[in-house]
Amino acid sequence: MWQLLGESLNSRLFLGTAQYPSPQVLSDAVTASGTDVITVSLRRQMQSSTGNGFWQQLKTLNKKILPNTAGCTSAKEAITTAQMARELFGTHWIKLEVIGDQHTLQPDPFELLTACRELIQQGFEVFPYCNDDLILCQRLVDAGCKVIMPWGAPIGSGRGLVNERALTLIRQRLPDINLVVDAGIGAPSHAARALELGYDAVLLNTAVANAGDPVAMAQAFKLATQAGRLAFMAGQMAQREMAVASTPVIGQPFWHQATVAAK
């Protein structure tokens, strides 16, 4: 169990709720993942035809809901969407997305920081989705963010952690901030690696929702995040440039020594 903004969580996996083959598969995948936190895009769900049935389903899952501002391209849009989400879900948590480029879905750092400052003043706990730029992450922390969510790769790409050095540097320079890798994770091994680097959690959607068997994949990610965190806490061996034998090479084999003694 770990603490995040006053909430006690068992899982280090945050799971999105979009693109699943059916409502039942969504429910089963959420259960199999063991997640405590699910995300939902308010703008996109309001534009879809799912209606109130989707909101009712989310309530039955009995999970902490992290609304997000996906689809917003300006600070003004994101702030309005966050305010609506707080009214609808009764939570001051918000995943802040402000997209600057529609081809890569890369966040706009300037609009993101502007929205972040305003929302924090309004009492929100902001989970900003950003790229792996250390300076931006530091500015977001200076603005009052207690959680930072740098991407592993572009949203939905499934490419994993394309810049481990940048992610490692962020972890080293922001040791007291909750860090969540958000976006780009495509395989359980990617999630395990993020946790091995010392990140507190991962957030993903497409890797589970678009899997051949979303329920089985959700369980795989559950186990991967557990393994990654355990590996980080255990302390991994140092990497070496040259080979080092794992068995003794000094002296004689024990069976040869036993033969000599018998004579």
Note if 146 is an active site residue. no
Which residues of the chain form beta strands (DSSP E)? 2-4, 7-9, 13-16, 37-41, 64-68, 93-96, 99-101, 106-107, 125-130, 147-150, 178-182, 201-204
- Selection from 58, 59, 76 nearest residue 17 by Cα: 58
Q: Known binder of ligand: residue 152?
A: no
Q: Known binder of ligand: residue 235?
A: no
The C-alpha atoms of residue 208 and residue 205 are separated, in whole angstroms, by 6
HSE-CB at 61 with a 13 A cutoff on CA atoms is: 30
Q: Known binder of ligand: residue 16?
A: no
Q: Known binder of ligand: residue 247?
A: no
Going by their DSSP bridges, the two strands 99-101 and 125-130 should be labelled as: unpaired
**Which of 59, 63, 64, 95 is flagged as catalytic?**
95
Q: Known binder of ligand: residue 184?
A: yes
Q: Considering all CA atoms of the chain, what is the largest pairwise distance in Å, rounded to the nearest integer? A: 89
Which residues are catalytically annotated? 95
Annotated binding-site members: 156, 183-184, 205-206
